[in-house]
Structure 1
Amino acid sequence: MGEFWPVPEVLTFLAGSWRVERTVRDQASGDEGRFDGTTVFGPSGGGALLHHESGTFVWRGVARPAERSLRFLPGPAGTGTAEVRFADGRPFHDLDLTAGHWVADHPCAADLYRGEFGVRDPDHWRTVWRVRGPAKDLVLTTDYARVG
């Protein structure tokens, strides 16, 4: 991912709207998909942020609307980190961008999701999720650019 830009407080950095471009590649079949949309990190009470992503996902030539929500909760006091949870409250992963870079693992049934986060500057960051398991071998690369 190259050079990283340290983020002293992840929730402050993420707050606001972001343009999202994601590629999804199935390593086994070679199929590639694309998501284009927006992610908004808005206040959710208690210092948390509600992440809501919406846009269009194209897979095998078929475009369909797609959206998801996550909650980003403040990590331990004074750390500038966050706990990321699914919309239903289940834990997803921790996030610490104080060095501008972070790797997180999330086991999901027989699959392992490994996310690499990298901040390029105050207005651009990227995630690369690698999903491996008995029936999955995917790479999801998402670029975020601040709106406004």
Structure 2
Amino acid sequence: MGEFRPVPDVLAYLAGSWRVTRSVRDRASGDEGRFDGVTVFGALNGPGLLHEESGTFVWLGVARPAERTLRFLPGPTPGTADVRFADGRPFHDLDLRTGRHIADHPCSADLYRGEFTVRDADRWRTVWRVAGPAKDLLLTTDYARVG
């Protein structure tokens, strides 16, 4: 995809509810899984957004509930975000002013490299490639605005 939609303010763009579909592929074993659910970017107590994701993750034929919480805080440059885990630890930066962003997150000896792309006003995608001694994964997530 060569066309990206610039987003002048990532927090304003993300606010609201999104349908989420994520494929997870273990590139070493060939195993594949899928997550289906909803992500809500709602108000935080203070500036920023609370990201709450919930749904069902199916791995090796076993379905189980899955959820995660992140905090999207205003970034150092207007229109950008500083993404944090629920406990406040840094995760990655996010700047969609060109419609595309690459972010890295080291996790022990593994490296998570995320590519974020905005397709239009109601659709965006993340692709995380995880490489290292413990993991070799490809996670592709599509978001579609609800309502």
Q: Secondary structure at the match of 1:13?
A: helix
Structure 2 CA distance, aligned partners of 1:76 and 1:35? 32
Match of 2:146 in 1: 147
What number of residue pairs does the alignment pair up?
147
Offset at 1:46? 2.4
The offset of 1:135, in angstroms, is 1.9
Q: Distance in 1 between matches of 2:42 and 2:114?
A: 22
User: What SS is found at the alignment partner of 1:130?
Assistant: strand
2:68 corresponds in structure 1 to: 68
Q: Which runs of 4+ in 1 moved over 6 A?
A: none
Other-structure match for 1:50: 50
Q: Which runs of 5+ in 1 are unaligned?
A: none
Identical amino acids, percent of aligned pairs: 80
Deviation, 1:75, is 1.1
SS in structure 2 of the partner of residue 129 of structure 1: strand
Give the whole-Å Cα distance in 2 for the aligned partners of 1:65 and 1:2: 35
Give the Cα–Cα distance (whole angstroms) in 2 for the partners of residues 47 and 100 of structure 1: 23
Alpha-carbon distance in 1 for matches of 2:5, 2:46: 27
CA distance in 1, matches of 2:127, 2:5: 17
Aligned counterpart, 1:39: 39
Partner amino acid for 2:20?
Answer: V
Rounded Cα–Cα distance in structure 2 between residues aligned with 1:70 and 1:147: 19
Runs of at least 5 residues in structure 2 that lack an aligned partner in the other structure: none
Instruction: Give the match for residue 129 of structure 1.
Output: 128
2: CA distance, partners of 1:135 / 1:50: 29
Distance in 2, matches of 1:24 and 1:76, equals 32
Structure 1 residue 45: deviation in Å?
2.7
- TM value normalised by structure 1: 0.97
Aligned-pair Cα RMSD in Å: 0.8
Match of 1:128, as an amino acid?
V
Question: Who is 1:24 aligned against?
Answer: 24
- Residue 66 of structure 1: SS of its match in structure 2? strand
Quote how far apart the aligned CAs of 1:48 are.
0.9
Aligned to 1:13: 13
